[in-house]
């Protein structure tokens, strides 16, 4: 079982991480903590705490998704919804059910050579590994029907700030991330970047 971290180390790391944050960002963090852990309460945890890979292997698919959602703060996990043993995923704004009971088809057996046919084995030398080149710059998000285009002002903005400015609610940042999944939501979007927004966004200079 993993050891529990020292609370003093956690407090020190949090203080270092928030040292450069402005007042508006700190207020957003405080509001989120009060809403999620004081007003609404902490997220429900599983009765049996999953601590090892062996524990995960014993869970059903719905229980596995729930365990990951309660332990990891990833935007991708927010796309899943669990209702008992039924798991759905949001695709294009519509919840699609997943069938976890499907099994992969068995690999087809290769045909055996007919009698009298000579089989020749060839030794294939492995190809030398290729050295990956530098990662290309993030490309603008492709146009999606029913969406709008928004160019981030100089200085950059977080997805939460963009959602508050254009959609009227910073908590709708996940809708922006769904349309711009190549942009990491934990970092500010650089100024001049073109971002796709949901239809109805309040952007004066947006173009369909």
Architecture of domain 147-198: Roll (3.10)
Alpha-carbon 206 to chain mean position: 26
pLDDT digits (tens, 9 = 90+) for 10-61: 777 878 877 888 888 888 888 887 777 666 655 555 444 545 666 677 778 8
The candidate with the shortest Cα–Cα distance to 73, out of 33, 40, 39, is: 33
pLDDT digits (tens, 9 = 90+) for 107-140: 455 566 666 666 666 555 566 666 555 545 455 5
Residue ranges per structural domain of the chain:
7-98, 147-198
According to the model, what pLDDT value does residue 208 have?
A: 40
pLDDT exceeds cutoff 90 at 161? yes
Query: Distance between CA 52 and CA 17 in Å, rounded?
Result: 29
173 pLDDT band, cuts 50/70/90, is very high
The candidate with the shortest Cα–Cα distance to 170, out of 39, 32, 40, 76, is: 32
The candidate with the shortest Cα–Cα distance to 25, out of 158, 156, 162, is: 158
Mean pLDDT of the chain: 74
Query: Distance between CA 208 and CA 199 in Å, rounded?
Result: 9
Query: Distance between CA 24 and CA 106 in Å, rounded?
Result: 56
């Amino acid at each position: 079982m993993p050891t529990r971290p020292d609370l003093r180390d956690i407090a020190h790391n949090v203080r270092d991480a928030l040292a450069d944050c402005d007042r508006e960002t700190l207020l957003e963090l405080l509001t989120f903590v009060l809403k999620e852990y004081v007003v609404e309460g902490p997220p429900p945890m599983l009765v049996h705490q999953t601590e090892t890979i062996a524990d995960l292997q014993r869970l059903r698919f719905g229980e596995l998704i729930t365990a990951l959602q309660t332990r990891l703060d990833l935007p991708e996990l927010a796309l899943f919804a669990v209702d008992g043993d039924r798991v759905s995923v949001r695709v294009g704004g519509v919840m699609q059910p997943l069938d976890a009971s499907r099994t992969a088809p068995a690999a087809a057996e290769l045909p055996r050579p007919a009698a009298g046919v000579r089989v020749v084995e060839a030794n294939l030398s492995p190809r030398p590994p290729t050295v990956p080149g530098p990662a290309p710059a993030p490309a603008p998000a492709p146009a999606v029907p029913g969406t709008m285009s928004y160019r981030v002002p100089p200085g950059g903005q977080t997805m939460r700030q963009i959602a508050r400015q254009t959609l009227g609610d910073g908590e709708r940042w996940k809708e922006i991330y769904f349309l711009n999944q190549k942009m990491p939501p934990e970092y500010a979007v650089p100024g001049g970047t073109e971002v796709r927004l949901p239809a109805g966004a309040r952007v004066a200079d947006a173009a369909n």
